A and B are shown apart, each in its own frame.
Chain A
Amino acid sequence: KNEVEQSPQNLTAQEGEFITINCSYSVGISALHWLQQHPGGGIVSLFMLSSGKKKHGRLIATINIQEKHSSLHITASHPRDSAVYICAVSPFGNQFYFGTGTSLTVIP
């Protein structure tokens, strides 16, 4: 069973487009995380949120706890945004559950 589902799996966009990646989860959580994994393989944390909305530069993350859903938006996308974006949740415990990731390619 997958506690975390992401969509779409793959996404190609033209530079400048507005991008949305969705994440749904099935367990109660204390926090939801958006991670970025570049082609080189390293994973960095973009956002951690438990309610509402957070913004960092051109990236916006929202979460609806009642609907168990989160979205990651990228405004004015750029080729350097090309990466795999991973949604993860931390239930009320020590472990994390991860989605399979959304592979984003932004074409100049």
Chain B
Amino acid sequence: NAGVTQTPKFRVLKTGQSMTLLCAQDMNHEYMYWYRQDPGMGLRLIHYSVGEGTTAKGEVPDGYNVSRLKKQNFLLGLESAAPSQTSVYFCASRPGTGYEQYFGPGTRLTVT
């Protein structure tokens, strides 16, 4: 099992550009999450999904969109990147029962 994978691992964008981060899990987990991690702050929830075809806003959703068309994939989109979106992005998943989360390796995004 690969667990949770994220693509890409690194990316540099110019202000105003768009991109999509892909999270994939092969554990048949119901729940998937996108977090951002910034220096001096804990992980903050951007969006999450409780199952295929569902999405919900987290603590810091502005400037991001998500989709979960397939159970194993959770996409995070930035339509018009801003320097404030420079961060490390983590995807996580967990089963429908139980609360243990499994994290991806992270994507380091820099917006100049």
- A: residues with CB less than 8 A from B are 2, 4, 30-31, 33, 35, 41-45, 48, 86, 88, 90, 94-101
Contacts and interface: CB of A to CB of B under 8 A. Distances in A.
Contact of B100 (A4, A43, A48): A48
Contact of B58 (A31, A45, A95, A99): A95
B88 A101 contact: no
B49 to A, nearest CB: 9
B43 A94 contact: no
Interface of B: 31, 33, 35, 40-45, 48, 50, 56, 58-59, 88, 90, 98-103, 105-106, 108
B43 A86 contact: yes
A42 B100 contact: no
B100 A33 contact: yes
Contacts of B100: 33, 45, 48
Contacts of B101: 33, 45, 96
Contact of B99 (A35, A41, A43, A90): A90
A44 B103 contact: yes
Contacts of A96: 33, 43, 45, 101
Nearest to B103: A43
28 contacts: A30-B99, A31-B99, A33-B99, A33-B100, A33-B101, A35-B103, A41-B106, A42-B103, A43-B103, A44-B103, A45-B100, A45-B102, A45-B103, A48-B98, A48-B99, A86-B43, A88-B43, A94-B48, A94-B56, A95-B45, A95-B58, A96-B33, A96-B101, A98-B42, A98-B43, A98-B44, A100-B40, A101-B42
